[in-house]
Amino acid sequence: MRCPQLQRLSSRFLDGDLGAERASAARGHLRDCERCQRAVAAEAEIVAAARSLPSSPEPAQGWDVLWGRVSARVAEEERADAARSAASLWWRENRSRLTLAVSAGAAFAFVLWGAPALPALGPGPLGLVPGSSSGGDQAVTEGGPERDGVGESLAERGARERAETDRQFREAVSELEVIIAEEQAFSDGARADAAGAELGAIRERVRGAKAARVALPDTAGRPSPRQDPVYEAYWEELATLQRAAVGVSDGEPGAGFRQDPAGRAPATGPVTGDDRGGDGPQGPGGARDSAGDGEGTR
Amino acid sequence: MAPPKRSVPDSSANGGALSLPRQAGDQRRDPSDRAIAEACGRGEAWAMELIYHRYRRRVYGLASRIAGPEDADEVAQEAFVRILRGLPKFRGDAQLGTWIYRLAVNAALTHVTRRPRHTEGDEVLDNIPAAQTSARDPGLSARLERALVALPAGYRAVLVLHDIEGLSHEECATILECRVGTSKSQLHKARARMRELLGPALAAERKGE
């Protein structure tokens, strides 16, 4: 073992996470390398100091004061929820599910789009046939349909992903229609009427999206997911649903859904930490989503 | 040097000094995670207080060390609001403690990314007081706490969870929603950065021995 290797493995060595052979090699290297000895000793000292820190400081004003603030905030937010419209509450509960559905479908569309560019290595883990096409719901190659290894071609899976996204959207529109009809019956109705008009626009858009799907070109002429009319329509539908539910106009926080080339939800989109239960992904060293709330922040 | 195992507390651990109202036949003396979550969903105060008392030290500790002591009150408050409002959505597919840690870490990291950048690097090094003469002096702990501020937030989170809270890499990976290997590599980089930050102080300390 040499210095760079030991430096790369020092944390695992200190944590006892190296196998017996590599741990022995590390100990052997440390016997004769003063520089690595110093580095490992310094790291060990930092780790020991970290582990001996008290497990928790305490709030300066005491635990009861903090609890008072927490319970007051929770009460305040629940009262604010009580004042929201039923459509708005529905949107807050469902927007992350819908966004995830579109993201998953669009991401798979991106994979499909990139498949022809994969290196020609013969049938691989995905069963891709070199030089084959992967576009269109009916794509069949010389060697037969592209298979994902479990008996379903990539094109078939793409069609299934789209059908699932489509089903979720249709369910969402139906649910929202019922809620808005109730609001029209029990309120002054102005905003509910506007929301109903938005839903009418959605239904028109659905027809257009289905027509675009049928016309989706195959193989080399197929557009990239950035221009894929199906997923572009879905993203627009999300924005329309949001407007119908909460009355947010374009340009306001969270109103603009945009897809990126990988089909992910937009960084400034309306899915917030709260929507994910506050537990959205944040890998170590990564940047945190600071998305605004579609209805304004607290 | 395996870490002393603290592990994420589960609901069987006895929480803080909370007197729960007695009611025959209910589960309040030893409620399951799901029972607590459901009671929070019904707005039952005993369940919300139970969560607060059981996890307040851990949540506050994470808030203080990831976001900094000056912002700890604000971050802990935000974390508990997210926890108490999110509990009805807790599906029980993870340990409640892990889920609460995840929300607390996310609240802290969100706060860190939204605020203006803190003093880092050399400025922090300048602020680290000179080493004292004893080998394991209390000053090292203080310098370590202050050097934590200079770490990138993600490094800080994994170092706090693993080295200070004593969680396993599997638990860290669950909380940070990354792979176990990522947790290990990030911890290694975090320690290396801490070594850079504290190296001169440690060297001075050894000279004084």
CA distance B42 to chain A (A): 12
Close Cβ partners of B173 (under 8 Å, ≥ 6 residues apart): B179, B180, B182, B183
The answer to the question of residue B21 being in a domain is: no
B4 with A51: Cβ contact below 8 A: yes
Instruction: Summarize pLDDT for A118-166 with one digit per residue, the tens.
Output: 443 333 333 333 333 333 333 333 344 444 445 566 667 767 777 777 7
Residue-level pLDDT at B159: 93
**What is the tally of structural domains in chain B?**
2
Sort residue B7 into left (φ over 0), alpha (ψ -120 to 50) or beta: left
The answer to the question of residue B24 being in a domain is: no
B111 shares a domain with B124: no
Domain boundary among B116, B140, B166: B116
Q: Which residues of A fall within a CB distance of 8 Å from B84?
A: 70, 74
B98 shares a domain with B41: yes
B145 shares a domain with B95: no
Give residue A249's Cα distance to chain centre.
23
B84 shares a domain with B123: no
Per-residue confidence band for B154, with pLDDT thresholds at 50, 70 and 90: confident
Query: For A89, phi and psi rounded to 5 degrees?
Result: -65, -40
Task: Look up residue A264 and give its two tokens.
Answer: 């992910």
Residue B66: give its domain's CATH number: 1.10.1740.10
The answer to the question of residue B69 being in a domain is: yes
Instruction: Summarize pLDDT for A51-61 with one digit per residue, the tens.
Output: 888 766 788 88
Q: Which of A15, A274, A290 sits opposite B1 (nearest CB)?
A: A15
Cα A48 to Cα B204: distance, rounded to the nearest angstrom: 18
Give me the count of residues in chain B.
209
Query: For B202, phi and psi rounded to 5 degrees?
Result: -65, -40
B136 shares a domain with B97: no
Alpha helix (H) ranges present in A146-189? 154-186
The answer to the question of residue B16 being in a domain is: no
| 3-state SS assignment for residue A141 | strand
pLDDT string in tens for chain A (298-residue length): 788 888 888 888 888 888 888 888 888 888 888 888 888 888 888 888 888 887 667 888 889 999 999 999 998 888 888 877 777 777 777 777 777 777 776 666 666 655 554 443 333 333 333 333 333 333 333 344 444 445 566 667 767 777 777 777 777 777 777 777 776 666 656 666 666 676 676 667 666 765 665 555 444 445 554 455 566 666 766 776 677 666 654 444 344 444 343 444 443 333 333 333 333 333 333 333 333 333 333 3
A53 with B60: Cβ contact below 8 A: no
B193 shares a domain with B110: no
The answer to the question of residue B18 being in a domain is: no
Residue of B nearest to A288 (CA): B110
CB B183 within 8 A of CB B172: yes
Which domain covers residue B43, as residue numbers? Answer: 1-11+30-116
Q: Which of A39, A77, A288 sits opposite B81 (nearest CB)?
A: A77
B76 shares a domain with B155: no
Domain boundary among B88, B116, B144: B116
B125 shares a domain with B110: no
User: Which residues 71-130 in chain B show a CB within 8 A of chain A?
Assistant: 72-73, 76-77, 80-86, 89-90, 99, 102-103, 105-107, 109-110, 112-114
Residue-level pLDDT at A230: 62
Question: B140 — contact with chain A (CB < 8 Å)?
Answer: yes
B67 shares a domain with B131: no
Domain boundary among B85, B116, B147: B116
B208 shares a domain with B132: yes
Query: For A153, phi and psi rounded to 5 degrees?
Result: -70, 160
